[in-house]
Amino acid sequence: MKIKFSANGGSASGGNGQEINIKRIGILTGGGDCAGHNAVIIGLLRRIGQANNTLPADEKMELIGLLEGWKSLTRDPEQELDKIIFPLHLTEIEDCFTSAGTILKSSRTNLFSKANIEAKLPEKAMANVKKLNLDCLVVLGGDDTLGAAGKLGQQFTFPMFGAPKTMDNDVYGTEMTYGFESSVEESVHFIQNCRTTAESHNRCFVIEVMGRHAGWVALWAGIAGGAEVTLLPEEIVDMDKVIKQVEKSIKLKQHCIVVVSEGARLFDTRYPEAINKHHQEMLNTVIADPKYAIVKAYYEMPKKKDSFGNEQLGGIGEYVKAILEKHTKIEYRYQNCGHAIRGGEAHVMDRILGLRYGDAIFGFMKAGTFGVYPGLEADKIVARNLLEVKGGRFVPQDHQLFAMRNAIEYF
């Protein structure tokens, strides 16, 4: 497909008005998997197939799947082509958009880590792009993956596109990322399953769900699942208040559900000093008790970080459950949804949103606008600059749902 292109923000510009022939389009998925990746691929494939019906032979396009995200472009095409290329034919994979995960597999490879910059991995990646005869690249991922696409496109004046995914729903420039709705649906199902046992045995369940810096999953799932208490990364967690809420729920209902976002914390520099100090005292009584040896071991364990510098989270629910158990006379159970809410079936909203984003990427391509990713704004698709992508779309404390997050407060 021959087009004249202009770059949004200069991130992929080779000169406005330059005509290029887009024939081989590379596509990869980076970061954590989630529902909607496959839908974006199918949405783009559909438009390519439709366009090929009328294009002359020398302009027909093909979509080339690249395996394991950015890792694919660090391999040698002459020696490991089978580990790089995944053929994408609509007739063979047309139903994959109903499944979560990614048929292209993924990795958390950071081309722009200090070590990889020194090893000239960005240069190697672009050299491999040329060896694969790719005319442009479509990158599906969160802010880390999309940010790398923006940097690479700018550094090497290469046409780039992106699509915003993350189950956390925290990517700048879009009201909704694909992967979010399915993770909420799966979390709600998990919460409801735990509730039947909580009601049957007069227990309190502490349920941890994913959400690194933004608590959208916990917020939506907690409210939709009827949680009595929901703890978010965006709020100041006060365990004395949580204890009172749990005790109130047990007194009135004989059961309780506490939903905790994995990014919620007991300590924070923005917390009042008195709360930090009191939480430490509470935790000290827990880790001093041999009954909580696992909690102590986790507390003392060095925290790992991924290649983007993100700390490996998980376990705050264990702390919350242990403190509640230590300071109340209630029976507790701790459950972590973990990666289960990422996988399985892609729910309707993520199927539709992924297909829309794939369709929109082709529209940007056809219009000759590179260096962009689609965002959702008032149910319309808008082009966002890859150089401006970032995370940190937090739950604002003046949001209607923020005030609705603790069902026990209505009793």
Amino acid letter, 314: G
Strands across the sheet containing 24-29: 85-87, 62-66, 24-29, 136-141, 160-164, 372-377, 380-385
Q: Which of 64, 70, 105 is nearest to 86 (CA)?
A: 64
Pairing verdict, β 380-385 and 372-377: antiparallel
Separation of alpha carbons 366 and 55, rounded Å = 12
Give the sheet arrangement for strand 229-231, strand by strand. 229-231, 256-261, 204-209, 332-336
Q: Whose CA is closest to 365, among 138, 141, 59, 151?
A: 138
CA 181, CA 149: separation in Å to the nearest integer? 25
Q: Which of 33, 135, 143, 168 is catalytic?
A: 168
- CA gyration radius, the chain: 24
Sign of the CA dihedral 61, 382, 111, 42? negative
Using CB atoms within 10 A of its CB, is residue 221 exposed (0-12), middle (13-18) or buried (19+)?
A: buried
Q: Could you tell me the sign of the dihedral formed by the alpha carbons of 129, 134, 136, 140, in that order?
A: negative
Q: Give the C-alpha separation, 384 to 375, whole Å.
A: 6
Annotated catalytic, 58? no
Residues with Cβ within 8 Å of 145's Cβ and at least 6 positions away in sequence, in order, are: 30, 31, 69, 70, 139, 162
Q: Which two tokens stand for residue 19?
A: 């005509």
- Active-site positions read 168
